[in-house]
Amino acid sequence: MGQPHFIIFANEKGGTGKSTTAVHTTIALAASGHRVGALDLDNRQRTMTRYLENRDATMRRLDKQLPHARYEVLDDHSENGLHAALDRLSQDADVIVVDTPGRDDEVSHAAILKADTLVTPMNDSFVDLDLIGQVHPENYKITKPSFYAELIWNSRTERAKTTGRGVDWVVLRNRLQHVDSHNLRRVGAALDELARRVGFRVIPGLGERVIYRELFPKGLTLLDLADLGEVGMGHITARQELREMIAGLGIPEPGASLPEPVAVAG
């Protein structure tokens, strides 16, 4: 089959909607015809795994096949365990989605080195922005990239030198406010400035938090509206946000060839 496309969801802060976004991406790609593998690196919280287990239970209860993925939780939390799990999932997948823990972790660093698409969800606030860049307290300009941005920069450089391929780093603005505000504009301006300096793309993420919490027990997603029962405008709006987010990630279509190697200086 060749090498799968690796999508790594990584953010050392918790509470950014990382696992929810990873699961919805997994199911959306499966629904579009991809053969998807999913690996949960957080063997304590296991949020992605629990979500997909709930989905399996719903399919059995409804006696209905829904878009799904092969999935594992990484019980052997080591680099060797990581590579072995990715090898297993790669046997029957053209895309592999990896959900990393919300903490600094050597296994997560190793996963980042595998990324073709690296996704960093963040809440739309200066608290979360501080993970990737420090902001001046008066003019809200970026003063310098943070340690995490430097980690990603070094990981991308190392991957480019060893494989000849680049990494598409995407920052997702989750929990976007629907009403314009000074904070919204300031965070957006700071992100745009940092994106130019560090080299990532910024796209809108997911915003309807209550709906996502309600979906978890059944393992359903916003693409499963026919099985949700009563559906309101909030569901429709959130589904459109999801579709726009998936389009923004720009994952190659099933069977598409990988991009050409990139030139690496030095």
**Which tens digits make up the pLDDT trace of 8-54?**
999 887 778 899 999 999 999 999 999 999 999 999 999 999 999 99
Write down the pLDDT at residue 180: 54
CA distance 44 to 40: 10
Q: Can you give the pTM of this predicted structure?
A: 0.89
**Which tens digits make up the pLDDT trace of 102-138?**
888 899 999 999 999 999 998 877 888 888 888 888 8
Environment class of 26 (CB within 10 Å of its CB; exposed 0-12, middle 13-18, buried 19+): buried
Nearest Cα residue to 251 out of 154, 118, 160, 77? 118
- Contact of 31 with 63, CB cutoff 8 Å: no
Residues 6+ apart with CB under 8 A from 30: 36, 67, 68, 69
**Which tens digits make up the pLDDT trace of 240-250?**
999 999 999 99
Burial 73-109 (b: 16+ CB within 10 A, else e): bbeebeeebbeebbeebbeebbbbbbbbbbeebebbb
Please tell us whether the domain made up of 5-122+165-177+202-249 is placed in CATH 3.40.50.300. Answer: yes
